[in-house]
A = this chain, B = another copy of it.
Amino acid sequence: MEPSRPPECRPAEPGDAAELAGLLDAFNREFDEPTPGPEVLERRLAGLLRDAAVHAIVAGRPAVGLALVTLRPNVWFDGPVGLLDELYVVPDLRRRGLGTSLLEAAEREARRLGAQLMEINVDGEDTDARRFYERHGYACVAPGEPEPDLYYFKDLP
């Protein structure tokens, strides 16, 4: 892969499901998170990529990175709110601006679909990710507030 020709970012299509499933499976293995395996992820992605509440950006052919955004309706905005659920670049191609390209393409598409707000849940100890998002204008502390906003979760029984 020539570093001088960065992989192009484009909207993902249902036919990208298998390659994106491989990336997400590798993503979670890299960070020791559980994964149901590429076959299950491919089946789910095939559905997600046909869902109007989801949009995905893919980098390269074959795919070497992806951004996955879900849009949900919200009472505080006329349009939807975007949530960046996944952002991944394969290890060999990191630190070349590909994450930035994916994030910017995801933001443009969310904006085009009417979103005025983008949200991301980030591990507090992932300082690389935090710096990356902060460099791109994201904040976890609202103006004038002393503490960051927190992401709480619970498995439903």
Q: What residues of chain A have their CB less than 8 Å away from a CB belonging to chain B?
A: 24, 36, 41, 44-45, 47-48, 51, 53-54, 68, 70, 72-76, 78, 82-83, 85-86, 107, 110-111, 115-125, 130, 133, 136-142, 145-157
A147 CB contact (under 8 Å) in B85, B125, B137: B125
Interface class of chain A by DSSP? mixed
A151 CB contact (under 8 Å) in B76, B136, B150, B154: B150
Give A43's nearest chain B residue, CB to CB. B78
Give A134's nearest chain B residue, CB to CB. B152
Q: Give 18 A-B contacts (CB < 8 Å), ordered by A residue.
A: A47-B73, A48-B73, A70-B73, A75-B85, A107-B154, A110-B156, A118-B153, A119-B151, A121-B149, A124-B147, A124-B149, A124-B150, A137-B154, A138-B154, A139-B154, A148-B150, A149-B151, A150-B150
